[in-house]
């Protein structure tokens, strides 16, 4: 808590787009001191995780040291810790190692975790893509199956080069496009003795289109690009079980595979259940239009961690631009509160939906009227919005040049197989059938 008359103390949990946006605004103000707590000592840029997973970018390219970011802001105290519980009444948070931090304001921005919807085996055997750690594990596993198949081509019959991506939303679609491109361009030229053409990428979704939230034209465009690159799209189909060596689909198909990538859905980070606060859809904290929690003035929930009311009804989507704007807005709201200035509810400035399906294929639906762009123009819009998300974290121009270079060149970045824990495969386990796919 603050000393009487001293700066007010703001405790922020999570340094994603939302928590970091809030901390960076408050860092500039003398009337507050901030404790920013995260279980990692870096901010990670989730929209580019799939590029790390497919060796297009290095992990360092999408992670930024929090210490570096705040080195000139003595009013921001960073704590590397995992918060395990919250008392919203006392405005305290408790960490795994037992420290307790009390604030005048609590800002909860712990983000999401994958939602496996209780699919048997999914949590144990699939590879989610939500954190830098996930992306590095996935990269190693992709490289390992190619190495193993190169050493023993018979493993291809055991599904070594079958990749199953669960979920046809932006995460699954971007991953499918990038993986197909990696196989077709890089792997085909680097593995001289391996029949890389035997590789299969499956994209499975229980809905009836890929990129569900986009328009019908966008569904068709995305499906066309993915099919052109060899992705097999299985719509109206869900994954019933994930085993170490295969997946079972709802239509009875069994696909032999040692790499299932989970982009099937998200829910609030586990901390949400330890807050004593009302949880709505996806376990997210229900907030009022000013992002505070009913009955707990001074306690805010932001970004992916919250169900934020949308003016049209329902909740705002889990997007970087929503999270960043809630962070900025909350900082301003706290400053108004301190000065007893009247304020307005949070208003989201819609930046639209975007997805990159491959180097030459992007889709963007811009603004509230969803003006639709495809191809290079959409790619330019994608760059613009992602540079906006990087504001303050990295130099905008630097980011533009790097990404544009990467887009127009055919280069691939790091291909070190450095996570042997995730890479190692027991080919005897659940891989004993000779049939690659049975219906
Ligand atoms: C693969 C992928 C691709 C995406 N692509 C796009 C895109 O192209 N465009 C777009 O707008 N959005 C995209 N998104 C969504 C966007 O990344 C999220 O909406 C955004 O990151 C949410 O920000 P946040 O600050 O709420 O949470 P997060 O960014 O998840 O940050 C949460 C932070 O809290 C920390 N944390 C969690 N629990 C604890 C704890 N108990 N104790 C301490 N710290 C904790 C985490 O370490 C993390 O730093 C994508 C998401 C994913 C997963």
My answer on whether 138 and 238 are in the same domain is yes
My answer on whether 253 and 283 are in the same domain is no
> Ligand 1: distance of its center to the CA of 43 in Å?
9
Task: Name the 3-class secondary structure at 207.
Answer: coil
My answer on whether 131 and 256 are in the same domain is yes
The pLDDT score that the predictor gives to residue 370 is 78
> What kind and span of H or E run contains 100?
strand 100-102
Which of 283, 304, 338 is at the close of a domain? 338
> Which parts of the chain sit beneath pLDDT 50?
396-397, 431-439
pLDDT tens by residue, 114-143? 999 999 999 999 999 999 999 999 999 999
My answer on whether 427 and 330 are in the same domain is no
Q: Is 174 part of the annotated catalytic residue set?
A: yes
My answer on whether 241 and 293 are in the same domain is no
Residue with the smallest CA separation from ligand 1 atom 33 is 14
Ligand 1 pocket residues where CB is under 6 Å: 13-19, 37-40, 46-47, 49-50, 82-83, 109-112, 129-130, 170-171, 269, 271, 303-305, 318-321, 323, 354
Q: How many domains does the chain have?
A: 2
> Ligand 1: distance of its center to the CA of 11 in Å?
18
Catalytic residue, chosen from 82, 99, 147, 174, is 174
> Ligand 1: distance of its center to the CA of 20 in Å?
11
My answer on whether 237 and 144 are in the same domain is yes
> Token match 């995780």: residue?
49
pLDDT tens by residue, 370-426? 788 888 888 878 877 777 777 666 654 465 556 656 655 656 777 878 787 777 888
Determine, yes or no, domain membership for 26.
yes
Which of 318, 338, 358 is at the close of a domain? 338
Helix%, strand%, coil% for the chain, nearest 5: 35, 25, 40
> Ligand 1: distance of its center to the CA of 46 in Å?
6
The pLDDT score that the predictor gives to residue 437 is 44
Determine, yes or no, domain membership for 18.
yes
Determine, yes or no, domain membership for 377.
no
Determine, yes or no, domain membership for 106.
yes
The pLDDT score that the predictor gives to residue 419 is 80
The pLDDT score that the predictor gives to residue 263 is 95
The pLDDT score that the predictor gives to residue 333 is 96
My answer on whether 316 and 214 are in the same domain is no
My answer on whether 173 and 218 are in the same domain is yes
pTM (2 d.p.)? 0.92
Where in the sequence is the domain holding 140, given as residue range(s)? 122-264+414-438
**Angle at CA of residue 16, ends 24 and 179, nearest 5°:** 135
User: How far is the CA of 21 from the CAs of 100, 164, 294, 418, in angstroms?
Assistant: 23, 35, 23, 32
My answer on whether 222 and 279 are in the same domain is no
Q: Which atom of ligand 1 is nearest to the CA of 43?
A: 49
């Amino acid at each position: 808590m603050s000393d009487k008359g001293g700066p007010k103390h703001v405790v922020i949990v999570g340094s994603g787009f939302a928590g970091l946006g809030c901390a960076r605004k408050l860092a500039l103000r003398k009337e507050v001191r901030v404790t920013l707590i995260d279980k990692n000592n870096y901010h990670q840029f989730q929209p580019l995780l799939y590029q790390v997973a497919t060796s297009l970018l290095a992990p360092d390219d999408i992670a930024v040291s929090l210490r570096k970011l705040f080195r000139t802001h003595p009013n921001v105290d960073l704590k590397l810790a995992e918060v395990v519980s919250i008392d919203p009444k006392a405005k305290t948070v408790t960490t795994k190692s037992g420290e307790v931090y009390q604030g005048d304001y609590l800002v909860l921005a712990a983000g999401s975790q994958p939602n496996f919807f209780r699919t048997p085996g999914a949590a144990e055997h699939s590879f989610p893509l939500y954190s830098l750690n996930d992306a590095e594990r996935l990269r190693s596993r992709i490289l390992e199956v190619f190495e193993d198949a190169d050493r023993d081509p018979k493993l291809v019959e055991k599904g070594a080069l079958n990749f199953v991506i669960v979920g046809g939303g932006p995460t699954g679609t971007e991953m499918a496009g990038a993986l197909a491109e990696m196989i077709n361009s890089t792997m085909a030229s680097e593995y001289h003795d391996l029949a890389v053409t035997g590789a299969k990428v499956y994209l499975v979704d229980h809905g009836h289109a890929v990129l569900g939230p986009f328009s019908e034209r966008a569904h068709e465009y995305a499906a066309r690009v993915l099919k052109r690159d060899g992705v097999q799209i299985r719509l109206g189909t869900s994954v019933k079980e994930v085993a170490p060596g295969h997946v079972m689909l709802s239509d009875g198909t069994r696909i032999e595979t040692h790499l299932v990538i989970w982009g099937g859905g998200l829910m609030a980070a586990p901390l949400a259940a330890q807050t004593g606060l009302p949880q709505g859809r996806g376990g997210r904290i229900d907030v009022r239009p000013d992002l505070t929690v009913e009955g707990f003035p001074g306690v805010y929930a932001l970004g992916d961690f919250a169900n934020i009311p949308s003016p049209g009804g329902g909740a705002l989507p889990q997007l970087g631009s929503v999270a960043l704007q809630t962070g900025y807005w909350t900082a301003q709201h706290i400053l108004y509160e301190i000065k007893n200035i009247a304020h307005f509810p949070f208003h989201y400035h819609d930046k639209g939906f975007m997805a990159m399906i491959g180097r030459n294929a992007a889709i963007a639906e811009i603004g509230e009227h969803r003006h639709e762009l495809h191809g290079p123009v959409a790619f330019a819009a994608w760059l613009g919005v992602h540079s906006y998300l990087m504001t303050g974290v990295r130099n905008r121009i630097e980011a533009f040049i790097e990404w544009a270079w990467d887009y127009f060149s055919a280069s691939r970045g790091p291909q070190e197989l450095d996570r042997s824990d995730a890479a190692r495969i027991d080919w005897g386990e659940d891989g004993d059938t000779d049939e690659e796919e049975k219906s």
